Structure 1
Amino acid sequence: MTADRSHSPLSGRVALVTGSGRNIGRAIALSLAAQGARVVVNGHSDAAAVDGVVAEIEAQGGEAAGVMADVGRDEDVARLVRSAVDRFGSLDIVVSNVGIRRKQPFLEITPEQWDEVLRTNLSAAFYLARHAIPHMQARRWGRLVFISGFDGFWGQVTHRAHNITAKAGLHGLAMALAREFGPDNITANTVAPGAIDTVRDWSQYTHQQREQLEKEIPLGRYGKVEEVAAACELLCAERGGFISGQVIHVNGGHYMY
């Protein structure tokens, strides 16, 4: 038996979560759906993973649709947003979650690689906001959440200049949007995960020894994807409506700002 979500906190809202076929994005999509939102699940290369998340949401009585798109391309994002509105009638919540993290010495980063990382990690949020905000203005309600990372606030490690720049820029963008579109009842915030237990390409994390990191974190463990999703859920709900232009660090006290 599936749950009746008609009186859930996000009932009637439509959410789009990019990069939601696995890991943090998947957890956010499932969390928002559990709160009653109709969710557009997005991925770029793994359609089976996207379809799997849609099936999970539907199995729990929610509504979801999968749309494949490269969020590093403005025309793809325009199509993604249009698909969400065509399918569900509006768009109220956007979570920009896609990111690539390459470990490269600065002097070995080519202009093409620099542009690719910034386009995927930072420009994607700009494209999403640009296409989604008019729909939010029409309903005088909107939530923009950008998934950054603690490397954008502390620097974290060497050999990631492009990623660190993009992650820091995401919060700058959130603050600018919060100021400009607050009068439309649209909030914009950043969530910065710390060391989170995810499936990843560990060849890009040779600088991090898991056991050493766990010793450095006051809570003594990696975070869970559901804990990042919980922060997003708060920011997307009515009860989080007075939080705007802020960053929530989900890092177990590893770094305190």
Structure 2
Amino acid sequence: MDLSGKWALVTGAGRGIGKGCALQLAGRGADLVINDRPGSPDLADTVGEIQAMGRQCVAVEADVFERGGCEQLVSSAVDGAGQLDILVSNPAYSERCSFLEYPPELFEQTLRGTLLAGFHISQLTARHMVERGGGGKIVFISSVQAYLPISHCVAYGAAKNGLNHMMRTIAVELFNHRINVNAIEPGWIDTPGEHETFGAERIEAEAAGLPWGRLGTPEDIGKAAAFLCSDESDYVTGTILRVDGGFVYRECRRPEIE
């Protein structure tokens, strides 16, 4: 999967899934514009790793939870790169809380940081792609929570489900511009954020019960993104690629009959 000559914008690339996607794209020849929130302590490290591969990398700090921040990001990305061929849209916000206690303002913040942010970034990037003649790849990072209800995550699951439907609609509307639009549904991924939330001991215990015996990695998601951003996926659009190591089907096994 050769991405030479392509410029990719990846949001949330300071660490975790966003960083995994950025590194995989760079490893296949793409040049990068990467983004994280203002003051991110991790963005410079990602820049260094990409440049060590011999790729160009522009870092843009911007708050993508607001329309203005998304406008700043895409404008700076186009100015820095000259063109955008690929977008990996990876904004998300989540706080765990029971449904009965869930504050309305937290629900709204989750929608704003997960669903609306994806809308703003993809719309602005798609406009640029259309203005320069069409063609391009847009990949949304969704979640298995769009499919699988998980306790204390009512807003996040709703936002990701909405993201999936939005992706399909965008794909339909961009058919004539030859812009491929798809999504990836990660399962449980081993990221710094997960360790901060659950702790290493619980993650190790949960991983042992998964079909592959481990959590997914940002690299796993990055490899899927690389495919969807490459010419090999030219006939793929409006599709959700689940990358979860069998997470959503883990309870379907019946050891007594295997």
**Residue of structure 1 aligned with 2:224, choices 227, 231, 234:** 231
State whether residues 142 and 185 of structure 1, in contact with CA within 8 Å, keep that contact through their aligned partners in structure 2.
yes
Distance 2:195 2:42 in 1: 20
Which one-letter code corresponds to 1:60 in the other structure? M
**Residue of structure 2 aligned with 1:147, choices 133, 141, 152:** 141
**Residue of structure 2 aligned with 1:251, choices 244, 250, 253:** 244
- Runs of at least 4 residues off by over 4 Å: 201-206
Distance 1:20 1:202 in 2: 18
Give percent identity, aligned residues only: 35
Which one-letter code corresponds to 1:100 in the other structure? Y
Which one-letter code corresponds to 1:54 in the other structure? V
Corresponding residue for 2:47? Answer: 54
Which one-letter code corresponds to 1:14 in the other structure? W
Distance 2:174 2:137 in 1: 10
**Structure 2 residue 92 is matched with structure 1 residue 134:** no
Deviation sequence 1:100-144 (CA, Å, 0-9, x none):
221111232222211111111111110011111122112321111
SS at match of 1:94: strand
**Structure 2 residue 225 is matched with structure 1 residue 222:** no
**Structure 2 residue 169 is matched with structure 1 residue 176:** yes
Corresponding residue for 2:61? Answer: 68
Corresponding residue for 1:25? Answer: 18
How far 1:205 moved relative to its partner? 4.2
State whether residues 216 and 254 of structure 1, in contact with CA within 8 Å, keep that contact through their aligned partners in structure 2.
no
**Structure 2 residue 16 is matched with structure 1 residue 14:** no
Structure 1 residues 49 and 32, CA, compared in 2 at 3 Å: closer, same or farther?
same
Distance 1:40 1:203 in 2: 27
Which one-letter code corresponds to 1:81 in the other structure? V
State whether residues 47 and 57 of structure 2, in contact with CA within 8 Å, keep that contact through their aligned partners in structure 1.
yes
SS at match of 2:192: coil
Distance 1:32 1:203 in 2: 27
How many residue pairs match? The answer is 248
Distance 1:203 1:161 in 2: 20
Distance 2:19 2:27 in 1: 12
Structure 1 residues 48 and 139, CA, compared in 2 at 3 Å: closer, same or farther?
farther
State whether residues 33 and 81 of structure 2, in contact with CA within 8 Å, keep that contact through their aligned partners in structure 1.
no
Distance 2:227 2:125 in 1: 20
Structure 1 residues 105 and 203, CA, compared in 2 at 3 Å: closer, same or farther?
farther
State whether residues 138 and 180 of structure 2, in contact with CA within 8 Å, keep that contact through their aligned partners in structure 1.
yes
SS at match of 1:154: coil
SS at match of 2:221: helix
TM-score by structure 1 length?
Answer: 0.90
TM-score by structure 2 length?
Answer: 0.90
How far 1:28 moved relative to its partner? 0.7
Once structures 1 and 2 are overlaid, which stretch shifts more, 208-217 or 65-74?
A: 208-217
State whether residues 25 and 226 of structure 2, in contact with CA within 8 Å, keep that contact through their aligned partners in structure 1.
yes
How far 1:24 moved relative to its partner? 1.0
Which one-letter code corresponds to 2:137 in the other structure? R
Distance 2:133 2:72 in 1: 20
Distance 1:85 1:45 in 2: 19
State whether residues 195 and 203 of structure 2, in contact with CA within 8 Å, keep that contact through their aligned partners in structure 1.
no
**Residue of structure 2 aligned with 1:43, choices 26, 36, 47:** 36
Gapped runs of 5+ residues in structure 2?
250-258
Corresponding residue for 2:104? Answer: 111
Alignment of 1:143-222 (within 5 A): 143-155=137-149, 157-200=150-193, 202=195, 204-205=197-198, 209-222=202-215
How far 1:152 moved relative to its partner? 1.1
Distance 1:199 1:117 in 2: 20
Distance 2:120 2:4 in 1: 26
